[in-house]
Amino acid sequence: MLVHTWHKSGSSLCSLHAALLLLALAIAQPALPIVAAAAKTPVILIPGDGGSQVEARLDGKPWVPHYWCSKTTKDYFPIWLNLELLTYFTIDCFVDNFRLHFDNVTNISHNAPNVSIRVPNYGDTAAVEYFDVSRISASAYFSGLVAALTKQLGYTRNVSVRGVPFDFRRSPPDLDVENFDSNLLQLIESTCRDNGNRPALLVAHSYGNIMALRFLQRQSADWKRRHIRALLAVGAPLGGAVKTVRVVSSGDSLNIPFEKPLTIRPLQRSFTSSAFLMPQAPLWPPGEPFASRPGRNYSSSNYAEFFADIGFPEGLAMRLASLTDFDATKPPGVEVHCVHGDGLPTPGRFVWTSDEPGWADSQPGIVNDNGDGTVNERSLQACVKFWSGVQKQPVRSFVIDGAEHVKILRHAAFINYTLTLLSTFDAEQPQPQPLLYSSKAKTLPDENAEDRWL
């Protein structure tokens, strides 16, 4: 069993074989085989939480938080990500327009009253290449990978590489109402047809892996054999992430200058995807707290108390509804490449020192864990732990030391891994041995094992 790890330190490797692997995968501009045939393995990009551009239209709102907030707009306008809406004067307007309202009878969320939301440019890579509609370099998302595909392998935007933007505010059951699965199925089938009936590589990031897994679990083995070459799962939070606990309890300012976490918290609490992405058993067992305050610990066994104590009791119903028909331990039934960062301080437990009423309104202390800065290592490695040896298709792992959760998509090692993978697919050659992760392996090797190539 091999776990291959890219180390940013450039320390010596254990063998010439390992050195050749890193040379092939990590050089910024590698000499890769260019496929002459017009038909290529198509690439489908499935973004994560916050990774899709979203538009809104105001249709005569009955109430606004400030007199300067608009009640009506003539047409749709960019609402996410639109940096112009995140200023001191406009943030409350943005929060009120973009929040969801959960119906605890139907267990489905709705947009704010008289607000229409749409996700434009389905199938278009433009919707997932940048977070911000202005396409500034600081908001780059899948843009680096798309540029590499087009310039180095001759891919064509919206023909051989496609984007799958979706309403990331919503949990998987919420997205059922928005026809996520049927839309994705049609996009994959049409894209495969347009590329010589070659099966596609799904490249999913973060929360997008949840949607990709759920989609694949629902398709027949024959359909997957004909349409899916592999799943490249990047930063997959299959067991949730502790970081979401602070988002729901005390709010997270998202690094927006001059904004207080409590200003953003109502919006973050309204997202059913936030409730879904909180730590889940069995990766977080009942006896391991992910949050604590004087005299009380909170773990996966007492979510009801947690939501009640932070003053957000409806969060429990949102969480329970969000987990409907989802089982991370059930494999997707296709070849999988699990790629993630490692070695960065990542919230492992939040500690509040106050026990006074409203204690959750203050920012907690952090006990760090290992991970990619956002998702904990145990959740990132769950695709190997849960699926390797369970499905007949291979499960492979590539760990990039020091790669951050979002920035990994711009990391040279990730981009080169993807290009190398596609080149081998298109050349119809067997997978090179250095990329293999034993499909029979059920656990990761010891951290100090030689095959981590420290």
Q: What is the pLDDT of residues 389-447, one digit of tens each?
A: 999 999 999 999 999 999 999 999 999 999 999 999 988 644 433 333 322 222 222 22
Give the residue, 116 or 426, on which the prediction is more confident.
116
- Interval 195-205: pLDDT, tens: 999 999 999 99
One domain for residues 235 and 158: yes
Q: Specify whether the CB–CB gap between 142 and 411 falls below 8 A.
A: no
Q: Which of 405, 423, 426, 439 is catalytic?
A: 405
One domain for residues 46 and 63: no
Does 116 qualify as catalytic in the annotation? no
One domain for residues 313 and 369: yes
> pLDDT grade, residue 387 (50/70/90)?
very high
Mean pLDDT of all residues in 343-358:
97
| Count of domains forming the chain | 2
pLDDT for res 14: 35
Mean pLDDT of all residues in 126-143:
93
CA-based nearest residue to 2, from 454, 447, 448, 444 = 444
pLDDT for res 75: 98
In this structure, what are the phi and psi dihedrals at residue 80, rounded to the nearest 5 degrees? -140, 135
Q: What is the pTM of this model?
A: 0.87
- ∠ at Cα 392 (223, 329), nearest 5°? 85
Does 273 qualify as catalytic in the annotation? no
Q: Which residues contact 2 (CB under 8 A, 6 or more apart)?
A: 436, 437, 438, 451
Does 249 qualify as catalytic in the annotation? no
Asked whether the predicted pLDDT for residue 25 surpasses 60, the reply is no
One domain for residues 43 and 170: yes
Q: What residue type is assigned to position 56 of the chain?
A: A
Residue where one domain finishes, among candidates 70, 99, 118: 118
SS3 93: helix
One domain for residues 298 and 174: yes
Mean pLDDT of all residues in 231-254:
97
pLDDT for res 133: 87
Q: Which of 174, 252, 342, 372 is catalytic?
A: 372
One domain for residues 293 and 382: yes
One domain for residues 132 and 255: yes
Q: Which residue has the tokens 């939301």?
A: 117
Q: Which residues contact 138 (CB under 8 A, 6 or more apart)?
A: 132
One domain for residues 321 and 382: yes
One domain for residues 26 and 73: no
- ∠ at Cα 300 (296, 305), nearest 5°? 45
Please name the helix (run of DSSP H) or strand (run of DSSP E) that holds residue 395, with its range, or none.
strand 395-401
**Alpha-carbon span 191 to 134, nearest angstrom:** 28
Tokens of 319: 């969480």
Chain centroid to Cα 121, Å, comes to 19
- Interval 358-368: pLDDT, tens: 999 999 999 99
One domain for residues 113 and 166: no
Length of the chain: 454
Residue span of the structural domain in which 96 resides: 54-118
Asked whether the predicted pLDDT for residue 277 surpasses 50, the reply is yes
One domain for residues 264 and 207: yes
Residue where one domain finishes, among candidates 118, 147, 167: 118
In this structure, what are the phi and psi dihedrals at residue 338, rounded to the nearest 5 degrees? -95, 115
If one counts every other C-beta atom within 10 angstroms of the C-beta of residue 313, the result is 11
Taken in order 171, 172, 176, 180, the sign of the CA dihedral is: positive
One domain for residues 132 and 233: yes
Residue where one domain finishes, among candidates 88, 118, 148: 118
